[in-house]
């Protein structure tokens, strides 16, 4: 897995954690969120969590992490081969899952 950024609307960039296909199940992410935050994840926030994502496939090379959609396409795959449930947000490195408060993120991005 690795961390990359993508441009959201308004020249804003968001950090995301890119995981290999089937490495992360969205249901597991929601269960982990609820356990960590001690409250249910609102459906609007859950949808928001899945909405602003870019798909990429990570590949380890020379001890570093390379995140590139181009590599995925070069392998003959389309980005539709990955689902939004395979992507998880991360705010910081190191390259490990770090959940954020999705309801707070939803409010800060205009509640879309």
Digits of tens for pLDDT over the chain (112 positions)?
A: 455 555 555 666 655 555 544 344 556 666 777 787 788 777 666 655 544 333 333 333 333 333 334 444 555 555 554 444 444 444 444 444 444 444 444 444 444 4
How is 62-108 classified by DSSP, letter by letter? TTEEEEEHHHHHHTT--GGGS-GGGEEE-SSSSSS-----HHHHHHH
Q: How many residues does the chain have?
A: 112
Burial, 6: exposed, middle or buried (Cβ in 10 Å; 0-12, 13-18, 19+)?
Answer: middle
Q: Which residues contact 38 (CB under 8 A, 6 or more apart)?
A: none
Number of structural domains (the chain) is 1
- Give the pLDDT score at 102: 45
- Residue 60 pLDDT: 37
Q: Whole-angstrom Cα distance, residue 94 to residue 83?
A: 24
Bridge partners, residue 67, by sequence = 58
How many helices (H) and strands (E) the chain has is answered by: 4, 5
Q: Is the pTM of this model over 0.75?
A: no
Q: What is the predicted pLDDT for the residue at 10? A: 65
Is 42:30 a contact under the CB 8 Å cutoff?
no
* Structural domain containing residue 72: 2-108
d(CA 30, CA 17): 15
């Amino acid at each position: 897995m690795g961390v990359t950024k993508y441009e959201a609307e308004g020249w804003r960039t968001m950090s995301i954690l890119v995981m290999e296909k089937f490495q992360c199940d969205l249901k597991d992410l929601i269960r982990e969120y609820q356990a960590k935050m001690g409250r249910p994840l609102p459906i609007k926030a859950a949808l928001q969590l899945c909405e602003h994502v870019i798909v990429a496939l990570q590949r380890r090379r020379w001890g570093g992490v390379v995140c590139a959609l181009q590599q995925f396409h070069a392998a003959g795959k389309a980005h539709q081969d990955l689902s939004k449930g395979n992507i998880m947000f991360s705010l910081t490195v190191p390259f490990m899952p770090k959940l954020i408060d999705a309801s707070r993120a939803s409010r800060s991005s205009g509640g879309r």
